[in-house]
Amino acid sequence: MKNLFYKIYMLGFMALTVFFIYIIWEVTFAHIIEEYYGRERALEIGQIVEQKKHEATKTSFEKIILESDEKIKHYLGYKILEERRIKGHFHHIGFQIGPDKRSYCVDCHGDMPHDHIKELRAFLNMHAFFVGCETCHVKLEGAQKTRVYKWYDRTTGELVESPVKGSAPGAYKAKIIPFERVDGKLQRIDSEDRMAFSREYREKEKSLSQAQKSRAKKLIHKIVSKQPAICEDCHQKEASLLPLADLGYPKERIDSIMSTEVVGMIKNYTKFYMPRMLHPGEELPKVEEKKAVKSEI
User: What does the per-residue mask of binding to another protein show for 127-166, with x meaning CB under 8 A?
Assistant: xxxx------------------------------------
235 near another protein, judged by CB under 8 A: no
- For another protein, the binding residues in 12-51 under the rule CB under 8 A are 13-14, 17-18, 20-21, 24-25, 27-29, 31-32, 35-36, 38-39, 42-43, 45-47, 50
Q: How far apart are CA 180 and CA 242, in angstroms?
A: 14
59 near another protein, judged by CB under 8 A: yes
Residues 6+ apart with CB under 8 A from 184: none
Per CB under 8 A, the list member of 101, 126, 204, 286 interacting with another protein is 126
Nearest residue to 120 (alpha-carbon basis) of 257, 284, 235, 230 = 230
Count Cβ neighbours within 10 Å for each residue of 202-240 and write b for 16 or more, e otherwise.
eeeeeeeeeeeeeebbeebeebeeeebbebeebbeeeeb
Nearer to another protein by C-beta: 105 or 223?
A: 105
242 near another protein, judged by CB under 8 A: no
Nearer to another protein by C-beta: 39 or 226?
A: 39
121 near another protein, judged by CB under 8 A: yes
Per CB under 8 A, the list member of 56, 90, 222, 287 interacting with another protein is 90
Q: How far apart are CA 174 and CA 163, in angstroms?
A: 7
Q: How far apart are CA 173 and CA 211, in angstroms?
A: 39
8 near another protein, judged by CB under 8 A: no
Residues 6+ apart with CB under 8 A from 123: 269
Give min distance, CB of 124 to another protein, in A: 9
260 near another protein, judged by CB under 8 A: no
Per CB under 8 A, the list member of 37, 51, 119, 165 interacting with another protein is 119
Q: How far apart are CA 165 and CA 274, in angstroms?
A: 32
Per CB under 8 A, the list member of 51, 156, 214, 268 interacting with another protein is 268
> Within 10 Å of residue 150's Cβ, how many Cβ atoms?
20
Nearer to another protein by C-beta: 44 or 193?
A: 44
Q: How far apart are CA 216 and CA 269, in angstroms?
A: 36
Q: How far apart are CA 53 and CA 45, in angstroms?
A: 12
69 near another protein, judged by CB under 8 A: no
98 near another protein, judged by CB under 8 A: no
Nearer to another protein by C-beta: 89 or 204?
A: 89
244 near another protein, judged by CB under 8 A: no
Per CB under 8 A, the list member of 109, 123, 157, 225 interacting with another protein is 123
102 near another protein, judged by CB under 8 A: no
Q: How far apart are CA 131 and CA 170, in angstroms?
A: 9
277 near another protein, judged by CB under 8 A: no
Nearer to another protein by C-beta: 210 or 260?
A: 260
Q: How far apart are CA 42 and CA 229, in angstroms?
A: 55
Q: Decide: 177 and 149 in contact? Cβ < 8 Å.
A: yes
Dihedral in degrees, nearest 10, Cα atoms 286, 112, 257, 240: 60
